Structure 1
């Protein structure tokens, strides 16, 4: 596992609790997590021990200063760092800062331009189903039922609405299958060799039910995180921008942007090929291949990998990029009415499972913008 799931759940529930959005069922879940899991309890204690300081916030500079203080305190804490999973440190700091900044803004300057729940409801109208296109032409809707049995060759596959496990499958029909993840949803898939794939929204993956020959190959459009099962046979992820070849490793692939291939390596090694050029990545590196040019930078897991656990982290991210993410996740078209606003940076982390209006509130507090609908199009403009 890349992250500690209990700590991640505690973080999201604490965010909801502080924003007075937690349900009785979620409160019970939070209490159960804290009771059963020492790491989750330690995470919550660190989170709750931090003073809100909301009355002291006067500007974005104050927010950034608190952010840096929290990160330094967490990274150098001798007592807490032993119990909090290392890759969750940034999440705690990020969640505290964004809640502090949002609370301060609404305390000092009430916002009268909140998007109504009725308007936010447009985000669900375009939500589609997760569909598995099975070799031979059959289409299976994986969203409606808890599970669906798929007969293929001499075997059957049980597919759920949130995940599908093909490990150990044999005797399946030859050919390619494609799973189509729409906007607003994500999905987990374990392939026949044991490779685990987490698929982000607006993503397609073409794969066989069983791998044959001396290569394991899949085709990706969108974004996915791969935890490759070790094997003497190479695993190849084909994209329209290039190919990634590995033996056993963990990495993220993003092809959302036209003509751009992004590959982030967590551990192991990968070769990325494009137009007869090959680049080998080391753990902790992220490759961006834009047409014929490529750059390698240090991997910031906070930004690149946070989507896996349902938390979106932004660091000086232009509003134009966040707008594209909103379109993918909420299935709502976005138009920014001011070019200077499109370039406005935003830093913080937001929970992608919350309603769109709640998602936008902290951003509006920092960026100082107004959001409104014209039909089904969400407009963003300066105050």
Structure 2
């Protein structure tokens, strides 16, 4: 490979003109240690080209710190030009930790290696366990269940005055027409491990469910408040209605009063803490299940009010809500945006995310690793890509059936 040939691929990439086949070749060239110096020279020489095309990878690289090497799924269809970012090298981490390329529609894969030229993938390759996808179960008031991922688009059920519609994009919308009469019809949407789903409630509130999560709600909101119950992890953008406060019962362990806002709730039982993170608007958080307007004076004193960027933390089996004023919103919302975010999380917490998303079990060989992972990974990758990522940190990782064995080498 000559510098002229490699320059051709860089220029075609910068202008968004690489074919699918050329992308495969380009990715292989970037991963080849023999091309390290040549790639560095081209990047240093052609900054005007990157600036002209607004290629700026620096923010991504700064966040990852260890650096990354690009990977590509050969069967991915690249119908969109690559996002614009600038490439920057981190020489101290060696060649394999040098380059990040966002390919196609934004799918990217991170792999790290501690030494230049080190082979990242070691041991037996993992079978192709697929990542989670849009799948959920809808349980109607009479106990009827609808498997949403296999349901056809269009109207799928009727609950009182609300027609339940599945959009062409797969989301569920409760289209309320008129005022509901008679008994309240409670519905529940639940996602399995390896599932996620999006729902629009009768009042226009939008809900995103992470894996192993649920929301129970009325098919039509009536009375003086709108009350729902959630488990697992949920992001909500609540429709404003000052006459009907929006109340969230977090699995009977906490109550959130919403004042028109966007916020995330993580209440997985195995996390040990209910974390409510406010993105915009205003919420009030109580320990326990509080009914609208019924909070005693003592309970009122136990409540905390959040402003954007704050996080309320309620450890299990306690009644004290603590506030963190510097929540990492990007990390909190990573799951909703299709990303695994590793930086700043404990190793065990990362593995819990992996268990839920790939519907596997993680077991540790010896003590749980205490090392901190850094970086991000697209949640659309197969499990074997994630295993390669972990192996790049010097861990022993092996998949046996659907059990992921993890330990120090």
Classify the TM-score, shorter chain.
0.7 to 0.9
TM-score (norm 1): 0.74
Determine which of 275, 279, 284 is the counterpart of 1:271.
284
1:149 matches 2:169: no
Could you tell me how far 1:193 is from its partner in structure 2?
1.1
Could you tell me how far 1:304 is from its partner in structure 2?
0.7
**Contact 2:263 / 2:276 at 8 angstroms: preserved in 1?**
yes
Q: 1:192 to 1:17 in 2, by over 3 A?
A: farther
Q: 1:195 to 1:115 in 2, by over 3 A?
A: farther
SS at match of 1:110: coil
SS at match of 2:399: strand
Structure 2 matches for 1:292-311, cutoff 5 A?
A: 292-297=319-324, 298-311=326-339
Q: 1:269 to 1:112 in 2, by over 3 A?
A: closer
1:319 matches 2:327: no
Q: 1:24 to 1:224 in 2, by over 3 A?
A: closer
**Contact 1:334 / 1:379 at 8 angstroms: preserved in 2?**
yes
Q: Which moved more, 1:106-115 or 1:224-233?
A: 106-115
Structure 2 matches for 1:221-236, cutoff 5 A?
A: 221-232=231-242, 233-236=244-247
1:108 matches 2:144: no
Determine which of 251, 255, 258 is the counterpart of 1:243.
255
Q: Which is higher, the Rg of structure 1 or of structure 2? A: 2
Q: 1:181 to 1:115 in 2, by over 3 A?
A: farther
1:369 matches 2:403: no
**Contact 2:287 / 2:320 at 8 angstroms: preserved in 1?**
no
Aligned to 1:3: none
Q: 1:332 to 1:106 in 2, by over 3 A?
A: farther
Question: Higher helix fraction: Structure 1 or Structure 2?
Answer: 1
| 1:278-325: CA deviation from partner (whole Å, max 9, x where unpaired) | 111111101111123332111111211111110121223222111111
Q: In structure 2, how many angstroms separate the alpha carbons of the residues matched to 1:315 and 1:17?
A: 17
Determine which of 88, 94, 97 is the counterpart of 1:51.
88
| 1:229-282: CA deviation from partner (whole Å, max 9, x where unpaired) | 111111001012200001211111110135521100111111101143211111
Pairs aligned (count): 318
**Contact 2:159 / 2:185 at 8 angstroms: preserved in 1?**
no
Q: Which moved more, 1:237-246 or 1:357-366?
A: 357-366
Structure 2 matches for 1:177-188, cutoff 5 A?
A: 177-188=187-198
Q: Unaligned regions of 5+ residues in structure 2, if any?
A: 1-59, 61-67, 101-105, 289-298
Q: Unaligned regions of 5+ residues in structure 1, if any?
A: 1-10, 35-43, 68-91
TM-score (norm 2): 0.69
Q: Which moved more, 1:161-170 or 1:217-226?
A: 161-170
